[in-house]
Amino acid sequence: MIKLIQNEWMKIFKRTGTYVMIGLLLFVLIVMGGFIKYQDSKGSVPDNSEWKKGLQVQNESYQKELTEMGDAIPQEVKISYEREIAINKYRIENDLSPNEEYTVWGFLTDTSQMIEFAGLFTIIIAAGIVASEFNWGTIKLLLIRPIKRGKILAAKYLTVLLFGLFMLFILFAFSSILGMVLFGFPNDPVPYLNYYNGTVTEQSMLLHLINYFGLKSINMIMLATMAFMISAAFRNSSLAIGLSLFLMFMGGQLTRLIAIKYEWAKYILFANTDLLQYFEGAPMVKGMTLGFSVTMIIVYFLLFQAIAFYVFKKRDVAA
Amino acid sequence: MDTLVEIQNVTKTIKGRTIIDSLSFNVNKGEVFGFLGPNGAGKTTTIRMIVGLIGMTSGDIKILGHSIKTEFEQAIKHVGGIVENPEMYKFMSGYQNLVHYARMSQGITKEKIAETVEFVGLTDRIHDKVKTYSLGMRQRLGLAQCLLHDPKILILDEPTNGLDPAGIREIRDHVRKLAREKDMAVIVSSHLLSEMEMMCDRIGIIQQGKLIDVQLMTDFVQGNEKIYEIEVEGKEAASRIVKDMYPDSRVQLTENGIALPLKKEKVPEVIKRLVNQDIQIYGVKEVAKTLEDRFLEVTSQKGGLIHD
């Protein structure tokens, strides 16, 4: 199995396209770093000594809006306001200024948006890893080895996951280094304030970021799995890339739209992939729980894998 | 003789159409088996079924006694093959391609790779990218790829497609050498008759998914009777005499004499008669029928249309 993965890895990294992707990722991070560094007007509350007052005012306006709107306010907005208020209160009580200096942590939080970018590249690899073998005609030589088809496909899937992990690692590592060089490391460790179930807790920033990266990658893994499934079942990388990217950008929006009207939206994959909604926001459809989403993700995952393996194992290689 | 490959009553149906119809034959150790047929007859499909790329609707294929259906790994590890063109990863070097395939079989050492590269004569260019290779070199790399794991059976689907005469000859020499020296069973498919004639020991003719004949190459080309050309003075007289002897036989006039199909034991009889009738004989020689003649004969005899 390790040898098979080694093979797949070699085939990915002997192609120029892969380096272009990595180069693009690094380039975007550098541009982002440069932009933030030289724009340099961060900080929401201008006067340092007055921050408590500022937060107070902010809270009051949130509170006012909440009471005025009453039930008309969307669930999501309500929860986000409540969260803001709770965190602001916690800051005032515990004397934690929001005007932290912009450091490596801030940069990492900003660059974590780039996970989608890493995800995009992983999708491209996933979409090509089976379909390309068919395009190149090499599948004929690949499948006449003393290795079962299922094992070859499994090796390919594991390689996709490894590649995704590798992209995340590059993103995380490079942002950390770049952030430290450009913005420096904070003197006192700044805690991350986590709001969950109505209470605010302090969390180490590193732990929070790892958490955040992990939860965000679920979406990426599911999309890559879907692209992989299309690639293996339909042998068509363009279809796999096209559909996956479309759903990556539009899936969430579409689900949100459907969710306004229909409750069954909660069974759609994209209503469930963002597990962050349970920790930092409101679920997309009322009544969804973390357990439900995890179950749905597992169900979809198994479904994708079942289709991919079933079709790939049965298929006649005639092309 | 040891039978290495057994094709047992194999049928393949795709969407109600029978592509391969109860095909059965065996391939033995040390022989080159040619698989001959017009385009679309089912050669490639059969070959793909032997290597497990395509499933079969019924029947079974056994390689050294292991079924390709139920014991795929056990069966396929004795097989090396090129199916149609040897498609390689063009963005990698020839050597990396070989390493890639070597990792997929057990116990292939670096020395073995080097030895195989040497055997197919690619040592100079093996570290260049495959996209810089000529078709002939790719074919050689394809051969190296299927010899890496010392297979007992070699399967080549249209191995000479698109090669120049030198390339064809090279492949032919390799194939014969492997069958003789390493005692491999080689299955070669082709629609090029002349090529099969020089390469194969036995051929099976397939037409419209049916195996219509399996014969030793020598028997196949010759049939029972051979054609003899007799060089004589006065061919008209000679042909009249022979026609008297065998009213049914087709006697033809050639440039220097007459030609007719004869059984070997009848040859002295004919010569004796001609000599007694004062016909001057300068020579008697056997004329081999070409494979093409025979192929057309067999395929039209069996009542099928040849569509190309």
Does the pLDDT value for residue B254 go beyond 90?
Answer: no
Q: What is the pLDDT of residues B147-203, one digit of tens each?
A: 998 899 999 888 877 778 888 888 888 888 888 888 889 999 877 777 787 888 888
A14, A142, A146: residue with CB nearest B91? A14
Is residue A90 domain-resident? Answer: no
Q: What is the pLDDT of residue A87?
A: 79
Q: How far apart are the first and last CA of chain A?
A: 27
Range of the domain at B214: 3-221
CATH classification at residue B168: 3.40.50.300
Number of neighbours of residue A154 by Cβ within 10 angstroms: 17
Same-domain status, B195 and B234: no
Residue where a domain stops, chosen among B221, B243, B275: B221
Is residue A92 domain-resident? Answer: no
Does the pLDDT value for residue B303 go beyond 50?
Answer: no
Closest CA of chain B from A313, distance in Å: 10
Residue where a domain stops, chosen among B198, B221, B244: B221
Q: What is the pLDDT of residue A235?
A: 84
Q: Average of pLDDT values for B135-158?
A: 89
Is residue B308 domain-resident? Answer: no
Point out the least confidently predicted range of A103-107, B49-53, B126-130: A103-107
Same-domain status, B207 and B273: no
Tokens of B175: 């194939």
B87 with A140: Cβ contact below 8 A: yes
Number of neighbours of residue A256 by Cβ within 10 angstroms: 15
Tokens of A46: 């201008």
A10 with B92: Cβ contact below 8 A: yes
Closest CA of chain B from A236, distance in Å: 18
Q: What is the pLDDT of residue A23?
A: 93
CATH classification at residue B260: 3.30.70.100
Question: What does the H/E/C string look like for chain B?
Answer: CCEEEEEEEEEEEECCEEEEEEEEEEEECCCEEEEECCCCCCHHHHHHHHCCCCCCCEEEEEECCEECCCCHHHHHCCEEEECCCCCCCCCCEHHHHHHHHHCCCCCCCHHHHHHHHHHHCCCCCCCCEHHHCCHHHHHHHHHHHHHCCCCCEEEEECCCCCCCHHHHHHHHHHHHHHHHHCCCEEEEEECCHHHHHHHCCEEEEEECCEEEEEEEHHHHHHCCCEEEEEEECCHHHHHHHHHHHCCCCCCEECCCEEEEEECHHHHHHHHHHHHHCCCCEEEEEEECCCHHHHHHHHHHHCCCCCCC
Same-domain status, B283 and B232: yes
Is residue A50 domain-resident? Answer: no
Range of the domain at A253: 2-38+99-314
Is residue A248 domain-resident? Answer: yes
Is residue B307 domain-resident? Answer: no
Is residue A18 domain-resident? Answer: yes
Residue of A nearest to B99 (CA): A7
Same-domain status, B121 and B150: yes
Q: How many CB pairs under 8 A join A and B?
A: 79
Answer for the pair B68, B61: CB distance below 8 angstroms, yes or no. yes
Q: What is the pLDDT of residue B101?
A: 92
Q: What is the pLDDT of residue A45?
A: 44
Is residue A94 domain-resident? Answer: no
Same-domain status, B255 and B230: yes
Residues of B with CB under 8 A from a CB of A: 45, 48, 51-55, 72-74, 76-77, 79, 81-92, 96, 99-101, 103-106, 145
Backbone CA torsion sign across A291, A295, A298, A304: negative
Same-domain status, B235 and B216: no
Same-domain status, B70 and B193: yes
Q: What is the pLDDT of residue A188?
A: 67
B90 with A147: Cβ contact below 8 A: no
Q: How would you classify the pairing of strands A192-196 and B17-28?
A: unpaired
The chain-wide mean pLDDT, for chain B, equals: 84
List chain B residues with CB under 8 Å of A147: 73, 104
Q: Average of pLDDT values for B236-260?
A: 83
Is residue A254 domain-resident? Answer: yes
Same-domain status, B141 and B39: yes
Q: What total number of domains does chain A contain? A: 1
List chain B residues with CB under 8 Å of A156: none
Q: What total number of domains does chain B contain? A: 2
Same-domain status, B108 and B232: no
Q: Consecutive 10-residue runs of chain A (319 residues): their mean pLDDT?
A: 91 91 91 81 54 78 78 72 78 72 78 85 91 90 91 94 92 88 74 73 79 84 91 86 86 84 84 79 75 91 93 83
Closest CA of chain B from A318, distance in Å: 7
Q: What is the pLDDT of residue B222?
A: 58
Is residue A287 domain-resident? Answer: yes
Q: What is the pLDDT of residue B291?
A: 64
Is residue B297 domain-resident? Answer: no
Q: How far apart are the first and last CA of chain B?
A: 36
Q: What is the pLDDT of residues B265-275, one digit of tens each?
A: 888 888 888 88
List chain A residues with CB under 8 Å of B81: 144
Same-domain status, B7 and B145: yes
